[in-house]
Amino acid sequence: MEGKQTGVYLCSGCGIGEALDMDALAEVASKEFKLPVKQSECLCGDAGVKTISDDLENGEVNQVVVGACSPRVMADRFRFGSTQVVRANLREQVVWMQPAGEEDTQMLAADNIRMAATQSGKIAPPTPHEESVESSRVLVVGGGPAGLAAAREASGAGHEVLLVDKADQLGGNARGRTALTPHKPPYRGLQENDIESDVQAVENDNRITVKTGTTVTETSGMPGQYSVTLSGGAQEKVGAIVVATGWRAYDPSNLGHLGYGASPDVVTNVELEGMLSEGGARRRSDGNAPKSVAFIQCAGQRDHNHLPYCSSVCCAVTLKQALQLKKADPETMVYVVYDEMRTPGTAEEFYREAQEQGVIFIKGSVKNVGSDLQVTVDDHLLGEEVPMSGLDMVVLATGMVPNSTDPDQETPEYGAEQLDNDINPESPIKVAGYNNGEPEVPERPGTAPSGGPILNLQYRQGPHLPMLADGFADSHYICFPYETRRTGIYTCGPVRRPMDMAEAREDAAGAALKAVQAIHNASEGAAVHPRSGDLSFPRIGYSACTRCRRCTVECPFGAIDEDDQDYPLVNPTRCRRCGTCMGACPVRTISFDNYSVDMLSSMIKSVEIPDEFDEKPRILVMACENDAYPALDMAGINRAGLSPYVRIVPVRCLGSVSLLCISDALSVGYDGALLLGCKSGDDYQCHFVKGSAMAEERLSKVGETLKSMMLEAERVVQAEASIADSGRLPQVINDFVKEIDDLGPNPFKGF
């Protein structure tokens, strides 16, 4: 059999046959598209699946259109090797949302068959890129608890590991600590510091190569093919990267209001830890052991003038240090001034132990600390200010700042022509002369790590990993917390979020396994999340490319560079297959084997548009497949009513939607278009991080296009949706249909 031969298979189960004229649906495929059609009472049953399998095996068809339930269900039943299967959603989004036997319901089902049949004719089985994996070795940057754990986990999975640390010895901040907070039953008592055993295990592992006193000076390539240059000039090939560069303490010089600098006996928790590891706490003023110590929690934390976040570990560290002081001298008076003691889970037992040992807890906020160590506390329980005098030492529980940049390097300057749109505008990494057109966001002291990039990425979007406003690596923290916006590069430990050693080790194990997964996917030419396993990648028609650079600038994941002639250069294993580049291209020259602007536009145009006298408007809904589309499916499961005039086209991401699709829809007579995408902003509900934001930016310019077409701007809008919005979305859509009805029919109908 040569060429593409599509077979259409219709299911009448789950109430579909009772609500629709199945023979009429079959005629849509057979007469309009000249495709063979078979019907089944239960297509997902063994007999139905066998019918499809037999036709594929006998060579009658080589591509399948299934008219049945949502593509989000029964995927395993309708998976036939590498055969392309297109699903027409007749159950959740037609018969479960519309009244049975109605003309409009039948028309909706027929249009869904038309769109699926059209889609099948516009796609091809993806051909993966042919570049092979050059290295399956994992690079781990950072030799603290997280880095050591990541190296051991990757080695345990059978991979070679290159562990790089800028320090002269492994262990990081954990080296030299005399005790740890307990993370083993019964979660009481001080736990022995076991960092040395981790170091020994790594150094004795023949799969792990350790390079101390070393930094990364350049990183290029993509998953499976990274080329890394180390200080000293050595070049290494690696398949994936784990960044475990840890943390440093918040700069206490910003805490003058809490007495730091006014008295030598006002110290930070990090400075006290150093004293404890060197034989015990001593007053800097006279060298004597303190007999009365006050710990001040949240010193410069949960404060938008300093660190707006909670470092999560400080409460437990204070408990540990308080118990160490009590253990050294039970007569020592230890006070803890706190707003909230955060000791969830097993740490609660540690909190009880501190109470039992005589540590005194005062709920309040510190107003000021004098040079004489007098602490004025606004006591929340007493409702008045209480002075604390006679103290020998004050300890400030300062927070964690992620080592997302190397403070020993200078931040490189960028030219304004390098529009680094990919880095969060509130990131501490600024682009000279360009900040997304917005006013500069003032830096909070100590929260914006300044310094050179850790990996020195040779990416079009710049050498840094994209960061959040406070310097933590940027990711979709709900669904894919280990991921960064640079495919194949994973952060773990406190560089990702504040955490203690036990958490950091577990976090590192997960990141290492993600790195292994990325290498495996790269070897198959397959995408990582959220379209895991997708073999397609962007193909660029260079003959039409105008070198406008929109695709390189707008790619959320830095997957596209530029060659020496300024043409876009795709790095396939960096690509997440979101299609944002496709939506950005003004000349439609970027496409995927199984997804393209032509496919979307053809599906949109395949719908039957009644003329204006029928009073049956047509509303296009382009719904993100990650949140909006499943929410609509759930609305169908709940039998929510939806306007029968709506035609839903699922898209990978709103970022993939070209405005040309909207103009095509309006030009063929659609009365309005609604774009349903994930929520954008700080929550990063968008699975592709900024696809919804990019769509909104593009849509802000659609008014000019509509004006040129003599159409109202209200005919095209965008709305946000989360996967939990199944109860709300039908009303959003129905309200939009009413607004369009009030505007009247599209004047292009009938042309």
The 10s digit of each residue's pLDDT in 222-236 is 999 999 999 999 999
Question: What integer best gives the mean pLDDT of the chain?
Answer: 91
Q: What is the structure's pLDDT at 701? A: 81
Residue 398: other Cβ atoms inside 10 A: 29
Question: 518 near 154, Cβ under 8 Å?
Answer: no
CATH superfamily of 252-398: FAD/NAD(P)-binding domain (3.50.50.60)
Q: Tell me what the mean pLDDT of segment 488-501 comes to.
A: 94
| pLDDT tens-digit readout, 691-725 | 888 898 888 888 777 887 788 889 999 999 999 99
Round to whole Å and give the CA distance between 338 and 310: 13
Q: What is the structure's pLDDT at 511? A: 96
Nearest alpha carbon to residue 157 among 512, 529, 563, 685:
512
Cβ within 8 Å of residue 641, ≥6 positions away: 97, 98, 730, 734
Does the domain at 595-751 match CATH 3.40.50? Answer given as: yes
Least confident range of 7-11, 185-189, 382-386, 577-581 = 185-189
Question: 572 near 710, Cβ under 8 Å?
Answer: no
Whether this prediction's pTM lies above 0.75 is answered by yes
Residue 438 scores a pLDDT above 50? no
Residue 450 scores a pLDDT above 80? no
Residue 188: other Cβ atoms inside 10 A: 15
Residue 295 scores a pLDDT above 60? yes
Q: What is the CATH number of domain 1-125?
A: 3.40.50
Residue recorded with tokens 């749109």 = 421
Round to whole Å and give the CA distance between 461 and 480: 21
DSSP string of 137-190? PEEEE--SHHHHHHHHHHHHTT--EEEEESSSSTTGGGTT-S-B---STT--SP
Residue 441 confidence class, pLDDT cut points 50, 70, 90: very low
Q: What is the structure's pLDDT at 413? A: 46
| pLDDT tens-digit readout, 371-415 | 999 999 999 999 999 999 999 999 999 999 999 988 887 655 433
Residue recorded with tokens 């043409």 = 567
Residue 98: other Cβ atoms inside 10 A: 22
Residue 476 confidence class, pLDDT cut points 50, 70, 90: confident
Q: Tell me what the mean pLDDT of segment 137-161 comes to.
A: 98
Residue recorded with tokens 């070795």 = 137
User: Do 1-125 and 595-751 show the same overall fold?
Assistant: yes
Residue 520 scores a pLDDT above 60? yes
Helix 145-156 and helix 195-203: axis angle, to 10°? 40
Q: What is the structure's pLDDT at 408? A: 82
Q: Tell me what the mean pLDDT of segment 337-353 comes to.
A: 89
Q: Tell me what the mean pLDDT of segment 428-452 comes to.
A: 42
Strands 384-388 and 266-268: unpaired
Cβ within 8 Å of residue 213, ≥6 positions away: 165, 166, 167, 168
Round to whole Å and give the CA distance between 238 and 219: 10
Residue 435 scores a pLDDT above 60? no
- Per-residue DSSP letter, 476: B
Round to whole Å and give the CA distance between 189 and 179: 10
Does the domain at 138-249+403-524 match CATH 3.40.449.10? Answer given as: no
Q: Tell me what the mean pLDDT of segment 147-170 comes to.
A: 98
User: What is the Cα 728 distance to its own chain's centre?
Assistant: 25
Round to whole Å and give the CA distance between 300 and 278: 26
Q: What is the structure's pLDDT at 419? A: 33
Residue 434 scores a pLDDT above 50? no
What one-letter code names the amino acid at 96? W
Residue 417 scores a pLDDT above 50? no
Nearest alpha carbon to residue 500 among 312, 629, 288:
312
Question: 150 near 242, Cβ under 8 Å?
Answer: yes
Half-sphere exposure of residue 541: CA atoms within 13 angstroms, side-chain side: 13
Q: What is the structure's pLDDT at 542? A: 96
Nearest alpha carbon to residue 429 among 454, 445, 405, 457:
405
Residue 562 scores a pLDDT above 70? yes
Round to whole Å and give the CA distance between 664 and 476: 33
Round to whole Å and give the CA distance between 570 and 459: 11
Q: Tell me what the mean pLDDT of segment 67-88 comes to.
A: 96
| pLDDT tens-digit readout, 240-292 | 999 999 999 999 999 999 999 999 999 999 999 999 999 899 999 999 999 99
Q: What is the structure's pLDDT at 425? A: 34
Round to whole Å and give the CA distance between 690 and 553: 12
Nearest alpha carbon to residue 72 among 733, 729, 723:
723
- Per-residue DSSP letter, 92: I
Q: Tell me what the mean pLDDT of segment 322-345 comes to.
A: 94
How large is the C-alpha radius of gyration of the chain? 30
| % the chain with pLDDT above 90 | 78
Q: Tokens representing 567?
A: 């043409």
Q: Tell me what the mean pLDDT of segment 725-749 comes to.
A: 94
Residue 169 scores a pLDDT above 80? yes
Question: 47 near 78, Cβ under 8 Å?
Answer: no
Q: Which helix (H) or strand (E) holds 52?
A: helix 46-57
Round to whole Å and give the CA distance between 557 and 518: 14
Q: Tell me what the mean pLDDT of segment 561-579 comes to.
A: 95
Cis amide linkage into residue 125, ω under 30° from 0: no
Question: 404 near 484, Cβ under 8 Å?
Answer: no
What is the architecture, at CATH level 2, of domain 539-591?
A: 2-Layer Sandwich (3.30)
Strand segments (E) across 531-654: 539-540, 560-562, 568-570, 590-591, 619-624, 646-651
Q: What are the sequence ranges of the domains in the chain?
A: 1-125, 138-249+403-524, 252-398, 539-591, 595-751
Q: What is the structure's pLDDT at 703? A: 78
Report the SS3 class of residue 353.
Answer: helix
Q: What is the structure's pLDDT at 750? A: 63
